[in-house]
Structure 1
Amino acid sequence: MHRAFALTPLAALLVASAVQATPEAEARLIVRLKADAPVVQARRLAARADAHEVADVAQRRADALGQRLGLTLTAGRALDTRTQVVTARGVNSETLRQRLARDPQVELVAVDRIRRHSRVPNDPIYGNGGGVGPAAGQWYLKPPAGDVRSSINAEGAWDLTTGSSTVVVAVLDTGVRLDHPDLVANLVPGYDMIGAGGGGSVRLAVANDGDLADPDPSDPGDWVSQADVDGGTLGSGCTADSIDDSSWHGTKVAGLIAATADNGVGVAGVGWATKVQPIRVLGKCGGYDSDILVGIKWAVGASVPGLPVNTTPAKVLNLSLGGTGPCTGSTGALYVEAFAEATARNAVAIVAAGNSAGEPVDSPANCTGAIAVAGLRHVGSKVGFSSMGPEVALAAPGGNCVNLNGSCLYPMVTTSNSGTRGPAANTYTYNEAAVGTSFATPLVAGVAALLYARDPSLTAAQVRTALTSTARPFPTSGSGSTVNACPAPVTGTEVLECYCTATTCGAGMLDARAAVASVGAPPPAPPAPATGGGGGGGASHPAWLLGLAFAGLWLNGRRKPGSKRPQVPPPAPR
């Protein structure tokens, strides 16, 4: 399991107002200027300004701020018409934040911190692993049965809808392997947000694709080597704890949401027809708040200066990422604002609660507007790695291996790549210990997409209600005599497996069938007006009778639960 959701400052915090002129120190801030600031009034920035104009205006504003501070400030990306990134050498981020906060033209300033990820069609792995995956197959999508109590019953939901190609889920993550055979049919164009507006050698190293922001959201790999750490190429916040092979995290998340189903290949996603929009915001050692915030806005179709218009805006955002700490201060305000933008456009943001082993919910999952998701074991108790707290909306399977040795028994089986550094052959996670709240979150995102497929007119609030009001109650027994109810989380105190409560894991366990059924199907089209003579005959018009017949079939002739399940062929060699 990846050690995820650790937030690393861009530079070590120093004593207030101290300036260290070390060549490694680089401050990186998000700054919002006041609407009536002279530097804003001097040259306004249009929401649809092109990249050249954005760069010019942003640097002029950075120069004006820098002159008053006696520092050289370099402009980074613009988040909106008054908010941008600025960087400076020879001063750390917190010191510069304090100085900018005292500037009368500045409305808001926040350190630009790094966030990190955590770690029934005829698809052969779905039923029983197809001879190459876990015996439980894609257990988390099936109806609950026996000891497996947290599975979401996607099969029941598929009897009502398998999704719609008009519903897009934006995956804000490491990017996606765009050539994966189980994903390629369900992808729409996305964007690589890393380093838009510039960023220098560290940003280029984090991006790891030879360039900065561009329309290519493919994942080049996010491995971190000892040489990366020793050489400092990824910044001072990247330490030996980050050394690992490439995670292919975004590809795994995308597969859980919308791996192509009923194609005789690999695995099934929650939404068979749902589209995934890859938005790359994480690279080597994580990603900056500014890239994530812009990714949220761009995903839902909001204007972002210097970026092209998103022609396929998302209704659902999946953020399997985060960092420790409360949603407070200027950074928290920026996330709340971004989630409010999504809500205003009737889009929902589904965010992983974090993998802090029972400590408080990570940020931005703990921000107003996010639908935070905790992780469950197969038996329905809180899985040991999951964060918890009152900010959690609901919980879903996050995977658990049960055994300490050998193959993982209940992993989240999904799409992946076999490369340890750069990409190699596309593959699946099989018996790999693919677990984490990162993988509980896309199950909720996938069901949210089914809700929009069932009723495109739903508001964001109605989607949240459908997910939480239909959740199944948490079990209070069945997991051993040493397991107790989850206590209130305390920073610095780990709580492993425990029985969830409403104040620790949310409203209950995700139930895909119940959620989808709760929103109802769109009503049939109204009948055409009768054209024949004889008043009062409208009720016997053929179109009206046909509509009644279809309605009766829908109400009374539903398939039996589980009838729309993956058709599993004989196991094939790996």
Structure 2
Amino acid sequence: MLAAAVAALTVSGLLAPTVRAAPAAPEPSRPPHAQRLIVGYKSASPKARSDQAVKDALRRKTDGTALSFERRLATGAVLLRLREQTTAASLSAVTEELKGDPDVSYAEPDSVLQAAADPDDPAYRLQWDLWDGTAGMNVPPAWNRATGRGVTVAVIDTGYVTHTDLDSQIVDGYDFIADASNARDGDGRDSNYHDPGTWSAPGQCAPDSPGGPSVWHGTHVAGTVAAQTDNGIGVASTAHDAHVQPVRVLGACGGVKSDTAEAIIWAAGGSVPGVPDNETPAEVINLSLGEKAPCSATYQRAIDSAVGHGTTVVVAAGNANENAAAYAPANCDHVITVAAGDRNGHRARYSNWGRTVDITAPGGSGNGTVQDDILSTYNSGRTDPDRESYAWLKGTSMAAPHVSALAALLLQLRPSLTPAQVQRVITGTARPIAGCGQNCGAGLADAGAAVRALSARTRHG
């Protein structure tokens, strides 16, 4: 759900001098100096084939160097370990000594690798929600193992307005808004999932409604999931190799339960009368929407259908600073309900809370400083689509797609995970949130920890 105002920037103005950059991501700590050497032996030497010959040669050394045999590599070289801690200089000296052995073809330190450089997207340093160790979701460590490749996330929202930083990740969705006047595209349901704008005139939605400009909500949510990363423009995202499937249910005056329920069923691969079947069913559904109401049979049956197809359903908790148990579909069974965290790693003051919440994710602070909110893809048009842009928004709407994207990372690693298993991995690896207790679910989602834990389980069966 979207809370309060939008601060939008054109692509060319994204890093203008008037934009205050967020603090730089902390530099990773340097690893301890490598204590191992890789040594290749000439083919004529017995050491090229015999591990025992290498061990015997090491025992015969009389210069005091404490080298031990560790293993032979698939390349044919051997891995030797220095038994004692050593400096870079002494390691270099040992390496050079080994190179002087007539049996040695090459010798080199077993160097320690780190992940490649940070993404080159210009706004990455503004995206504290990805990298900040206190308030962010600790996403960069996860990218070594998963980026969402092969997973589709359905964003059931306002649809999608074309954006260079996201286009390659989009797969065909559907427009489920049956009311042509609310759809604002001149017709009812059809295959055109693009967002024509959600602006409304005063009195259009209710006798006393004030009207308002378009909010390109679905595009912002989609960018948080899967904006292209390391492409030299714009923003980065959590699951940047995942696909996004835009499904329209929110128009000028919001959306209705019947459209939303059928959109959920369709997105997961179920059949909806009068609508062509979904050729690319989603493994994850993001619902950054809701109402103050009990979970109805309509919502629950749609969610049960999706979960029955193996689709994980992620829902925003709501922005009223109330118990999420009063808001649907956040209060439905078998969903992952997401509260919003602020720039300090606490529950955001607007976020709903309570035992209904399963997990918290970055959603923005709502403190009046836009750079403390969530930056993602957007559009500059106040009514119809205009220039593509980027904007900071805040709300549990922004928190939910972080978790949807994390689910995509996990499902890339293990496609057979059930929705319940996805939830258990996410909640079981969360970081505690001080002072929130059970009101924030398991705590703050941690992508690096979740992916690492699942990878370990995969290796060990």
Q: Distance in 1 between matches of 2:413 and 2:428?
A: 17
Say which SS state the counterpart of residue 392 (structure 1) adopts. Answer: coil
Query: 1:160 is aligned with what amino acid?
Result: R
Confirm whether residue 211 of structure 1 aligns to residue 187 of structure 2. yes
Q: Distance in 2 between matches of 1:521 and 1:186?
A: 29
Cα distance, 1:121 vs structure 2: 2.1
Instruction: Find the counterpart in structure 2 of residue 308 from structure 1.
Output: 276
Instruction: Find the counterpart in structure 2 of residue 559 from structure 1.
Output: none
Instruction: Find the counterpart in structure 2 of residue 182 from structure 1.
Output: 165
* Alpha-carbon contact 1:143-1:155 (below 8 Å) kept: no
Q: Deviations over 1:14-57 (max 9, x none)?
A: xxxxxxxxxxxxxxxxxxxxxxxxxxxxxxxxxxxxxxxxxxxx
Aligned in 2, Cα 1:3/1:447: closer, same or farther, shift over 3 Å?
Answer: closer
Aligned in 2, Cα 1:123/1:191: closer, same or farther, shift over 3 Å?
Answer: same
Q: Distance in 2 between matches of 1:501 and 1:366?
A: 19
Question: Pick from 131, 141, 144: which aligns with 1:156?
Answer: 141
Confirm whether residue 435 of structure 1 aligns to residue 370 of structure 2. no
Question: Pick from 119, 122, 125: which aligns with 1:124?
Answer: 122
Instruction: Find the counterpart in structure 1 of residue 373 from structure 2.
Output: 411
Query: 2:301 is aligned with what amino acid?
Result: E
Which has the larger share of strand?
Answer: 2
Query: 1:501 is aligned with what amino acid?
Result: G
Confirm whether residue 285 of structure 1 aligns to residue 253 of structure 2. yes
Cα distance, 1:401 vs structure 2: 4.8
Matches within 5 A, 1:515-554: 515-520=450-455
Indicate the structure (1 or 2) with the bigger Cα radius of gyration.
Answer: 2
Say which SS state the counterpart of residue 375 (structure 2) adopts. Answer: coil
Cα distance, 1:326 vs structure 2: 2.1
* Alpha-carbon contact 2:128-2:135 (below 8 Å) kept: no
Q: Distance in 2 between matches of 1:259 and 1:305?
A: 32
Confirm whether residue 460 of structure 1 aligns to residue 419 of structure 2. yes
Q: Distance in 2 between matches of 1:506 and 1:522?
A: 23
Instruction: Find the counterpart in structure 2 of residue 371 from structure 1.
Output: 336
Cα distance, 1:456 vs structure 2: 0.9
Instruction: Find the counterpart in structure 2 of residue 513 from structure 1.
Output: 448
Confirm whether residue 173 of structure 1 aligns to residue 157 of structure 2. yes
Q: Distance in 2 between matches of 1:345 and 1:307?
A: 18
Confirm whether residue 347 of structure 1 aligns to residue 306 of structure 2. no
Instruction: Find the counterpart in structure 1 of residue 127 from structure 2.
Output: 138
Instruction: Find the counterpart in structure 1 of residue 97 from structure 2.
Output: none
Instruction: Find the counterpart in structure 2 of residue 240 from structure 1.
Output: 209
Instruction: Find the counterpart in structure 2 of residue 60 from structure 1.
Output: none
Say which SS state the counterpart of residue 416 (structure 1) adopts. Answer: strand
The two structures have a TM-score, normalised by structure 2, of 0.72
Query: 1:350 is aligned with what amino acid?
Result: V
Query: 1:357 is aligned with what amino acid?
Result: N
Cα distance, 1:285 vs structure 2: 1.4
Q: Distance in 1 between matches of 2:130 and 2:3?
A: 25
Cα distance, 1:162 vs structure 2: 1.7
Q: Deviations over 1:292-334 (max 9, x none)?
A: 000000001011121111110001000000001222xxxx112
Query: 1:293 is aligned with what amino acid?
Result: A
Confirm whether residue 334 of structure 1 aligns to residue 298 of structure 2. yes
Query: 1:225 is aligned with what amino acid?
Result: A
Aligned in 2, Cα 1:2/1:446: closer, same or farther, shift over 3 Å?
Answer: closer
Cα distance, 1:357 vs structure 2: 2.0
* Alpha-carbon contact 1:351-1:441 (below 8 Å) kept: yes
- Cα RMSD (Å): 1.9
Q: Distance in 1 between matches of 2:339 and 2:457?
A: 31
* Alpha-carbon contact 1:401-1:409 (below 8 Å) kept: no
Matches within 5 A, 1:388-407: 388-402=353-367, 404=368, 407=369
Instruction: Find the counterpart in structure 2 of residue 381 from structure 1.
Output: 346
Query: 1:376 is aligned with what amino acid?
Result: G
Aligned in 2, Cα 1:3/1:412: closer, same or farther, shift over 3 Å?
Answer: closer
* Alpha-carbon contact 1:182-1:265 (below 8 Å) kept: yes
Q: Deviations over 1:380-404 (max 9, x none)?
A: 22111111121110101110154x4
Q: Distance in 2 between matches of 1:268 and 1:399?
A: 16
Cα distance, 1:193 vs structure 2: 0.4
Instruction: Find the counterpart in structure 2 of residue 95 from structure 1.
Output: none
Aligned length: 346
Instruction: Find the counterpart in structure 1 of residue 73 from structure 2.
Output: none
Instruction: Find the counterpart in structure 1 of residue 404 from structure 2.
Output: 445
Aligned in 2, Cα 1:239/1:445: closer, same or farther, shift over 3 Å?
Answer: farther
Cα distance, 1:346 vs structure 2: 1.4
Query: 2:167 is aligned with what amino acid?
Result: V
Instruction: Find the counterpart in structure 2 of residue 14 from structure 1.
Output: none
* Alpha-carbon contact 1:454-1:522 (below 8 Å) kept: no
Say which SS state the counterpart of residue 297 (structure 1) adopts. Answer: helix
Q: Distance in 1 between matches of 2:231 and 2:208?
A: 42
Q: Distance in 1 between matches of 2:399 and 2:324?
A: 17
Q: Distance in 1 between matches of 2:389 and 2:138?
A: 25
Confirm whether residue 299 of structure 1 aligns to residue 267 of structure 2. yes
Query: 1:140 is aligned with what amino acid?
Result: D
Say which SS state the counterpart of residue 221 (structure 2) adopts. Answer: helix
Aligned in 2, Cα 1:239/1:347: closer, same or farther, shift over 3 Å?
Answer: farther
Confirm whether residue 225 of structure 1 aligns to residue 205 of structure 2. no
Q: Distance in 1 between matches of 2:131 and 2:324?
A: 30
Cα distance, 1:341 vs structure 2: 1.3
Q: Percent identity?
A: 43
Cα distance, 1:269 vs structure 2: 1.3
Q: Deviations over 1:476-535 (max 9, x none)?
A: xxxxxxxxxxxxxxxxxxxxxxx3211x111111000111122227979xxxxxxxxxxx
Q: Distance in 2 between matches of 1:308 and 1:263?
A: 34
